[in-house]
Structure 1
Amino acid sequence: MIECRDIRKEYRVGHIRKTVLKGVDFNINPRDRIGLLGRNGAGKSTLIRLIGGVEMPTSGKIIRKMSCSWPLGFSGGFQGSLTGYDNARFIARIYDKPYAEMRAFVEEFTELGHNLRMPVKQYSSGMRARLAFALSLGIEFDCYLIDEVIMVGDKNFRDKCQSAFFEDREDRALLLASHSLTTVKQYCNRAIVLNDGVATVYEDVDEAISIYEDL
């Protein structure tokens, strides 16, 4: 389980403090598939970064009792001067996974070929997304955090990603921030609507979608 307890997040903009999250409370349980809905700027990416440990909350606690991926879609996840292979080696070392296994998986999943020998800063956004998915899927996390990137790439790659997350890892938890209501309705069993810094949890996904559409 991952517990979010009274999470607040503020940023200083000049002389003004902007509050993005105002006391967010919810749990991510094992096997949960939670859709995170909200308008642009509602704080979806901020919340995912906090849960993934990329940023710290201004106040409140995040208690992680299961392993959690970094946020897919977070642009700061790579060392740009390193190659795709080097980034894979770095991740393998951090999570104590044999590099040979990680390398083989990344090669097969990304289909990037010789581009894996290039510095990541030379990658297109689509190539970076392929590498991001492969590196995250190369480690068996209990919970995956996905920020708006499930629909990147061509149809074959999108199908591969959806199969990897929603079928091959159906026993894992997932927090998915997405504007694709079809994807949320198809795959999620719960939903959270973020609005004005407040997170409302819905056990009925259809009800959450209806509320979101009315915003």
Structure 2
Amino acid sequence: MRIMIALEHVVDTPMLGGAPYPVALDITMTLPIGRYAVVSPDPIARKPAIDLLAGLRPPTSGHVVRGGSCSWPIGRAGFVRGKLSGRQIVALISRLYHLDYRFCIYLVESMLTLPEYLDEFVEHWPATARQEFGYILPLLPTFDIYVVDGTFPYRKDRFTLLWRALFEQRIDGRMLLLSTVRKSEVDEFCDTALILNQGLIEIESQLDEVLRKFPLRPDINDTGRGQPEPLVDDQFA
């Protein structure tokens, strides 16, 4: 089985809350292609671990080697910002990843609920439009490793249906690292747990048992109660 991520004597103790936090303590391991749910008894561990595995920052010592290209974290707030129009951002990604701009802008226009905002600076877009745009952008290139740090689109609308269809196409036969608080998303997309526990990182194939030990916050669709968290207007500002 193809190895996608290898950790070689990795020590990772980033500063969190003014103190070093043990994400990895002398870890040597390999992660083959798979669909991993990133879980931990301490939720604060997930974000720095995603940053480490996705290559957003180096470890304190040791090496993290990826066997292919890796997406930026899908669903993480703050990746759509600045004084650029939507079309300029799509053009930038097209150049960086050697994509056909005309096809990319066609795809974005076809998926967005409000494509008329593409000519305006994204800082002037309504929050829902920025959120949709932020979900689409990491699916324009084809990566070997897809990383999700947040929840998936949850509204039962046209955009969500189109986005999920494209996402499922992109991750087919590729690696997925999913950090989410919604158990329904883990149940749908993952079959293996990547456990972070006080500097240890372990792979566990018995995902259901891991989720019983480290339960996630249930999806409102699982409980039948509550409402989705509201979007704040500066979420992607």
Q: Same fold (TM over 0.5)?
A: yes
SS at match of 1:100: helix
Q: What residue identity is the alignment partner of 2:14?
A: E
| Inter-partner Cα distance in structure 1 for 2:105 and 2:80 | 16
Distance in 2, Cα, partners of 1:3 & 1:161: 30
Provide the rounded CA distance (Å) in 2 between the counterparts of 1:12 and 1:195.
Answer: 16
Q: Which residue of structure 1 aligns with residue 32 of structure 2? A: 29
The structure having more radius of gyration, on CA atoms, is 2
Residue 42 of structure 1 contacts residue 197 of structure 1 at CA under 8 Å; is this kept in 2? no
Q: Paired residue for 1:48?
A: 50
Which segment drifts farther, 1-10 or 61-70?
A: 1-10
Q: 1:1-215 alignment to 2 at 5 Å?
A: 1-5=4-8, 6-11=10-15, 17-23=19-25, 24=27, 26-30=29-33, 32-38=34-40, 41-150=43-152, 152-156=153-157, 157-167=159-169, 169-213=171-215
Rounded Cα–Cα distance in structure 1 between residues aligned with 2:93 and 2:42: 31
In 2, are the aligned partners of 1:28 and 1:173 still within 8 Å (CA)? no
Q: For structure 1, which segment, 129-138 or 115-124, has the greater mean C-alpha deviation from structure 2 after superposition?
A: 115-124
**Distance verdict in 2 for CA 1:212–1:120, change over 3 Å:** same
Question: Aligned pair in 2 of structure 1 residues 60, 121: CA closer, same or farther (>3 Å)?
Answer: farther
The AA in structure 2 aligned to 1:165 is F
TM-score, structure 2 as length reference = 0.78
After superposition, give the CA deviation of every residue in 1:106-152 in whole Å (9 maximum; x if it has no partner). 111223311112212223443223112211111111111111131x3
Q: Give the letter aligned to residue 154 of structure 1.
A: R
1:155 partner letter: K
Segment of structure 1 superposing worse, 103-112 or 40-49: 40-49
Helix, strand or coil at the partner of 1:155? coil
Rounded Cα–Cα distance in structure 2 between residues aligned with 1:191 and 1:12: 24
Q: How big is the alpha-carbon RMSD for the aligned residues of Structure 1 and Structure 2?
A: 2.4
Between the aligned partners of 1:141 and 1:106, the Cα distance in structure 2 is 18
Evaluate the alpha carbon distance shift between residue 118 and residue 39 of structure 1 in structure 2; reply closer, same or farther with a 3 A threshold: farther
Q: 1: distance between equivalents of 2:42 and 2:83? A: 31
Instruction: Provide Cα deviations, 1:24-60, integer angstroms capped at 9, x if missing partner.
Output: 5554423x11111235643212221222222222223
Kept in 1: contact 2:68–2:144 (CA 8 A): yes
Q: Which moved more, 1:41-50 or 1:4-13?
A: 4-13
Which ranges in structure 2 are unaligned for 5 or more consecutive residues?
A: 217-237
* TM-score calculated relative to the size of structure 1: 0.85
| Residues 178 and 74 (structure 1), Cα distance of their counterparts in 2 relative to 1, 3 Å cut | closer
In the alignment, structure 1 segments of 5+ residues that lack a partner are: none
CA–CA separation in structure 2 for the residues paired with 1:138 and 1:71: 14
How far does the alpha carbon of each residue in 1:78-123 deviate from its partner, in whole angstroms, 9 at most, with x for none? 3411011111111111011121111111111223311112212223
